[in-house]
Amino acid sequence: MGLKHSAGLDSKDAANQAKCYGAAVRLLGTREYSVVELTTKLQRRFLSEVVNEVTTELQALGLLCNTRYGEAFCRSRVERGYGPVFMQRELEQNGLNKELIETLLEPYDEQWLAKAILQVEKKARTHRPANMLSSQPHANSSDNSENTYAALDCGTLTITGEAASDKTLSRDQQRQAWHEGQKERARIARFLARRGFPAGVASRAINQVMQAIDR
């Protein structure tokens, strides 16, 4: 399959069209592109009229396809831990219409909570303040506040679990641990928002992980 030259083109225009076609095929050989994305890239080197003719021909040949690009994009971003808000925004910027985006994201609807939970767990492991996210006291520490966070319900000032039996915790220590818990929740919530997870999904994911840690 090759480029069908438009009628009436002189040799110079035909050569430019052939160069543009070759450049497009090489790009498509590396990954899928949306029509808008490939057009934008080619217009840096070639005239818009030439680019439009080439992308139209590529679509007719089945070499350039928004649906195929969207499917590949969604698989890649889901595997990398991104949520639907991020993906919808990126797909819109690359020229896909709302109906197609909804169709592409629909198969993942039941997965977003599980994906968000995985991100919370990873974030909790990589950013673990001394008195947060661990129910085990530190071996060399005499500060009882170090295991307070895991025994706290992050949304209340209720002490539970191991810390509940620790009568040495002062009210100030309890309050400090509660505030640190709230800061950690806010930090993770901001991270999930940047990843493109809806607020409701993010909140449920954080709650489930924190409850599991408290057990």
In this predicted model, what pLDDT tens digit does every residue of 35-60 receive, in sequence order? 999 999 999 999 999 999 999 999 99
Residue 211 has pLDDT above 50, yes or no: yes
CATH code, 55:
1.10.10
Residue pair 170/201 in contact by the 8 Å Cβ criterion? no
Residue 30 falls inside a structural domain: yes
Whole-model pTM: value is 0.72
The tally of domains found in the chain comes to 3
The answer to whether residues 150 and 197 belong to one domain is yes
Residues in the chain: 215
206 and 117, same structural domain? yes
Q: How confident is the model over 114-142, as pLDDT tens digits?
A: 999 999 998 877 655 544 444 333 333 33
Task: Evaluate whether residue 101 is within a structural domain.
Answer: yes
Cα 170–176–179 angle (5° rounding)?
Answer: 145
pLDDT band with cut points at 50, 70 and 90 for residue 32: very high
Q: Are residues 100 and 20 in the same domain?
A: no
The region that residue 209 occupies, defined by phi over 0 for left and psi between -120 and 50 for alpha, beta otherwise, is: alpha
pLDDT at 175: 80
